[in-house]
Amino acid sequence: MSLPHLHLLVTGGAGFIGANFARAFLTNDPATRVVILDALTYAGNLANLEGIDEDRCVFVRGDIRDTPLVCDLLRQHSIRALVHFAAESHVDRSILGPDLFVETNIVGTHSLLKAARLVWLEEQPGAHRFHHVSTDEVYGSLELRAPAFSESSPVRPNSPYAASKAASDHLVRAYHETFGLDAVITNCSNNYGPYQLPEKLVPLLIVNCLLGERLPLYGDGLHVRDWLHVQDHCQAIALAMRVGVAGETYNIGGENERTSLEILRLIVSEIDHAFERDPSLSEKYPHCPAATGKSCAELVAFVRDRPGADRRYALDISKARRELGYAPRAAAGPAFESAFRGTVRWYIEHDAWWKSVMDGQYREWVALNYKNR
Ligand code: NAD
Ligand code: DAU
């Protein structure tokens, strides 16, 4: 589709992936301006947007469920394309409190769809694009040797989070089929990279190593995820925005399946070695076992699993390769290991960032989540 100079609305742009996306998009496309709409929930942080080109980026604190606000933004900023990241995104939180997931992920997505329909189809018809960011979790869990999920795999979500994302995918598709909204959906696998809140596995393990706190592995630690560098994900979204076909869904993965235990081992090895290379880290992180010559592996604790835990996710990305020209740069092998180690080093260097986002509200929730495990 042709959207020559983009004024792009990014919902959830103060969250992990949204902030990485806004940053990359502004860098790669000098003709672009971005409006970020974010409610700044516990997961959204302006610190994630530090250093972004403020002349080309407007931040609006607001709720995607506020349909009149969304309509006003589309009109005021002549926005013809949006990328929708805003969501409640953590499975554990959806188990402890599903209501907000229905509100944000289903009602919130529907609010955006209503605004897009009104402004782009009724008031000012013309080229537009609604890009919906979704997850591989909508497909449910895979047996260990089963083939990876394709776009035509049945939708069988297991957690309230996954069910709410699946419902939002259905609504987006329905608005395309029924009203002719130009909409594309991408379903991606587990992202890792800078600015991820330390409630998700990778940053949680890194930060806990550095603070000398236990490393909780759910169940036997052998759940498999497909790990995708956030920059690869952002590249795929940009491609789908440009060449994705309206009404289509594309799976975006990293072709890199690893168990949680393997992920933990990589983190431990990178941190242990970082302390060997740089003795000043021992002063910065005195509670880390590596500060006294021990290995962070001593912090591992196998804890009670999630109810309904998904054993394995894996994505067949051949459609995105073929139709979008997508190829993950940090795919399995040395490229993944190097990108992953780079991520671990980012957290070692950016303690000011993660200390600023782990506020009282965050700590209270972590205490609750791990209390009976
Ligand atoms: P995140 O939790 O880090 O960020 C979510 C952002 O949405 C936050 O900035 C938050 O303030 C904002 N938000 C929440 N409710 C809002 C509302 N009602 N109105 C406006 N803003 C609101 O999430 P993330 O990890 O960056 O994920 C982004 C998207 O990608 C989500 O839709 C998620 O389902 C999807 N996804 C994430 C992953 C992953 O590995 N993180 C993988 C697959 C799909
Ligand atoms: O697959 C895509 C999904 O990836 C996204 O849709 C979600 O938004 C995102 O949160 C992520 O979901 P997961 O549940 O896979 O990610 P999480 O980091 O929470 O957990 C990854 C694996 O690690 C999972 O098997 C559970 C396990 N785990 C998680 C935490 C938080 C642990 O063993 N210990 C932990 O403390």
DSSP calls for 127-138: --EEEEEEEGGG
Which residues lie below 8 Å from residue 27, measured CB to CB, with a gap of 6+?
none
Asked if 132 and 185 touch (Cβ cutoff 8 Å), the reply is yes
Asked if 224 and 312 touch (Cβ cutoff 8 Å), the reply is yes
| Region of poorest pLDDT, from 192-206, 315-329, 352-366 | 352-366
Give the residue among 296, 287, 291, 288 at the shortest CA–CA distance from 267.
296
> In the chain, pLDDT over 70 holds for what percent of residues?
99
State the catalytic residues: 136-137, 161
User: Does residue 294 have its Cβ closer than 6 Å to ligand 2?
Assistant: no
Atom of ligand 2 nearest to the CA of 159: 14
Atom of ligand 2 nearest to the CA of 219: 33
Per-residue confidence (pLDDT) for residue 56, from 0 to 100 = 94
Give the residue among 43, 89, 41 at the shortest CA–CA distance from 61.
41
- What average pLDDT does range 166-194 have in this prediction? 98
Query: Is the model's pLDDT at 6 over the cut of 80?
Result: no
Instruction: Calculate how far, in angstroms, residue 128's C-alpha sits from the geometric centre of ligand 2.
Output: 33
User: Does residue 190 have its Cβ closer than 6 Å to ligand 2?
Assistant: yes
User: Does residue 192 have its Cβ closer than 6 Å to ligand 2?
Assistant: no
Greatest CA span in the chain, whole angstroms? 66
| DSSP label at residue 298 | G
Per-residue confidence (pLDDT) for residue 45, from 0 to 100 = 96
- Read off φ and ψ for residue 100, nearest 5 degrees: -65, -25
In this structure, the residue with its CA closest to atom 6 of ligand 2 is 135
- What average pLDDT does range 347-367 have in this prediction? 93
In this structure, the residue with its CA closest to atom 19 of ligand 2 is 200
User: Does residue 217 have its Cβ closer than 6 Å to ligand 2?
Assistant: yes
Query: Is the model's pLDDT at 3 over the cut of 70?
Result: no
Query: Is the model's pLDDT at 4 over the cut of 50?
Result: no
Which of the four pLDDT bands, split at 50, 70 and 90, describes residue 212?
very high
Per-residue confidence (pLDDT) for residue 332, from 0 to 100 = 80
Per-residue confidence (pLDDT) for residue 324, from 0 to 100 = 98
In this structure, the residue with its CA closest to atom 25 of ligand 2 is 223
- What average pLDDT does range 13-19 have in this prediction? 98
How many Cβ atoms are within 10 Å of 189's Cβ, its own excluded? 26
User: Class for domain 7-192+227-255+308-328, per CATH?
Assistant: alpha beta
Average model confidence (pLDDT) across the chain = 96
Residue to substitute in 9, 10, 11, 17 for testing ligand 1 pocket (most ligand atoms within 8 angstroms of CB): 17
Asked if 133 and 168 touch (Cβ cutoff 8 Å), the reply is no
Residue 5 corresponds to which amino acid?
A: H
Q: Enumerate the domain spans of the chain.
A: 7-192+227-255+308-328
Please give the structure tokens belonging to residue 3: 């959207």
263-306 pLDDT per residue, tens: 999 999 999 999 999 999 999 999 999 999 999 999 999 999 99
Measured CA to CA, the distance from residue 180 to residue 234 in angstroms comes to: 26
Give the residue among 161, 136, 162, 169 at the shortest CA–CA distance from 150.
136
Give the residue among 27, 57, 221 at the shortest CA–CA distance from 49.
57
| Region of poorest pLDDT, from 3-7, 228-232, 359-363 | 3-7
Does this model's pTM top 0.95? My answer is: yes
Instruction: Calculate how far, in angstroms, residue 276's C-alpha sits from the geometric centre of ligand 1.
Output: 36
